[in-house]
């Protein structure tokens, strides 16, 4: 059983706390791609088995060693949005690409609807969409480091997966993001974005700061564009439920 930070920051034990005599219950948890997954009811299969189909799907892009290269960006690596919608509409919206040309004209330029495909994963596990061609962020001569094996394969895909119930992830040759949903009410959700790059230089190096800022702005605009669609779905549902 873990007792994180019980003795102060980064001190995970304390002489004044006897774990075995406490009433703390161990909760199954696993960190994957910097996301903490918990299974409070202990009624799920092992996480390694749970995530295996997605890892197999992504094995043509990244492996376990590549996963370790991901570094969170401290300066332009996160933002939050609040939407007047149930969290499930955000997930539903993330799984389809038909709205791409109309709702996301800028995204459609770098990840065109004609290059998109849908991903039918496994029931209760994941689904999403991908693009066979994603143009990497570039500014002048600056560009982010890439996953080397992926680059050698010449695949230029990006994939957007809703990991059920409430996590949306996006994988690219040179960056990865986690966009997870915090339900606040039946019709209110907080969306949390966390962005990652390949290695320290891309994630936090001074010379790529402007490019990170640009990339964060790009994804924030995309997620802002989705808000009207998601809130419209919520509004429509309200009327059909009458
Ligand atoms: Fe969208």
Confirm or reject CATH 3.90.380.10 for domain 62-240, answering yes or no. Answer: yes
Cα-to-centroid distance, 121 and ligand 1 (Å)? 19
Q: Report the pLDDT averaged over residues 148-173.
A: 96
Cα-to-centroid distance, 93 and ligand 1 (Å)? 6
pLDDT tens for each residue of 4-57: 899 999 999 999 998 888 888 889 999 999 999 999 999 999 999 999 999 999
- DSSP tag of 69: T
**Per the structure block, which two tokens stand in for 204?**
């936090």
Q: Is 168:182 a contact under the CB 8 Å cutoff? A: no
pLDDT tens for each residue of 74-83: 999 999 999 9
3-state SS string for 105-140:
HHHHHHCCHHHEEEEEEECCCEEEEEECECCCCEEC
Q: What are the residue boundaries of the structural domains of the chain, listed by start?
A: 62-240
Cα-to-centroid distance, 98 and ligand 1 (Å)? 9
- DSSP tag of 87: H
Q: Is 169:177 a contact under the CB 8 Å cutoff? A: yes
pTM for this prediction: 0.92
Distance CA 32, CA 36 (A): 7
pLDDT given at position 133:
94
Q: How confident is the model at residue 241 (pLDDT cuts 50, 70, 90)?
A: low
End-to-end CA distance of the chain: 48
Q: Is 128:60 a contact under the CB 8 Å cutoff? A: no
């Amino acid at each position: 059983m873990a007792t994180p930070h019980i003795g102060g920051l980064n001190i995970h034990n304390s002489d004044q706390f006897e774990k075995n005599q406490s009433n703390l219950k161990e909760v199954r948890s696993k960190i994957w791609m910097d996301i903490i997954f918990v299974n409070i009811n202990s009624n799920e299969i092992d996480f390694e088995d749970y995530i295996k189909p997605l890892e197999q799907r992504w094995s043509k892009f990244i492996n376990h060693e590549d996963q370790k290269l991901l570094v969170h960006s401290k300066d332009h690596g996160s933002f939050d949005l609040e939407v007047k919608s149930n969290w499930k509409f955000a997930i539903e919206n993330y799984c389809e690409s038909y709205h791409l040309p109309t709702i996301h004209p800028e995204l459609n330029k770098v990840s065109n609807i004609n290059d998109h495909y849908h991903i039918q994963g496994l029931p209760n596990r994941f689904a999403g969409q991908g693009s066979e061609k994603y143009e990497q962020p570039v500014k002048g001569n600056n560009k982010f480091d890439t996953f080397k094996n992926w680059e050698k394969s010449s695949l230029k895909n990006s994939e957007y997966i809703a990991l059920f119930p409430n996590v949306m992830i996006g994988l690219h040759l040179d960056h990865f993001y986690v966009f997870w949903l915090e339900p606040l009410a039946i019709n209110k959700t907080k969306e949390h974005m966390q962005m990652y790059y390949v290695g320290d230089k891309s994630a936090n190096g001074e010379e790529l700061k402007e490019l990170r800022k640009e990339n964060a702005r790009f994804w924030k605009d995309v997620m802002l564009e989705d808000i009207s669609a998601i809130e419209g779905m919520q509004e429509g549902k309200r009327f059909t439920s009458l």
